[in-house]
Amino acid sequence: MKKRTVNYPIRKSIRFTPTELEKLEILLKRSAYCQTISELVRDMLFKRKLTVNTRNESVENTLVELGLLRNELNKIGVNINQITHYFHMQADPKERQFFVNEMLPHFERTKVKLEALHRLIEGLKMLS
């Protein structure tokens, strides 16, 4: 904890309701540089800029969903690459048709995931 450079020799007391005190404590927890309620109240009284750290839960949830979508799209891409590799190794048209049929569900899953990604991006546009 840093040392105070200013001495505050004059004491004043103030009374708060439990709700008011709770609001102050919440502000204190979110404050970037105030360590006590006294510091917080002084800063608020003398109109210094009060920096408050906030947490945007909807953005966090969107980022988690984007990460999950990225992982799923990566796995689908790996499957498509493996099937494509086997496709090019086969000379028989029937076997090639088999691999084409194997790839169709992967393309459908990719389409669904890309639509979900598009919805997430649209949601992010609304937030900003």
Per-residue pLDDT of the chain (128 residues; tens, 9 = 90+): 556 677 788 888 889 899 999 998 998 888 877 888 888 888 878 866 666 667 777 778 878 888 888 888 888 888 888 888 888 887 788 888 888 888 888 888 888 888 888 888 887 777 65
How far lies 24's CA from each of 17, 41, 59, 76, 77, in Å? 11, 8, 26, 50, 51
59: phi then psi, degrees, rounded to nearest 5: -70, -40
Residue 78 contacts residue 59 (beta carbons within 8 Å): no
pLDDT at residue number 50:
62
Contacts of 28 (CB under 8 A, 6+ apart): 34, 36, 37, 40
Residue 66 contacts residue 117 (beta carbons within 8 Å): yes
pTM of the entire structure?
0.46
pLDDT at residue number 17:
93
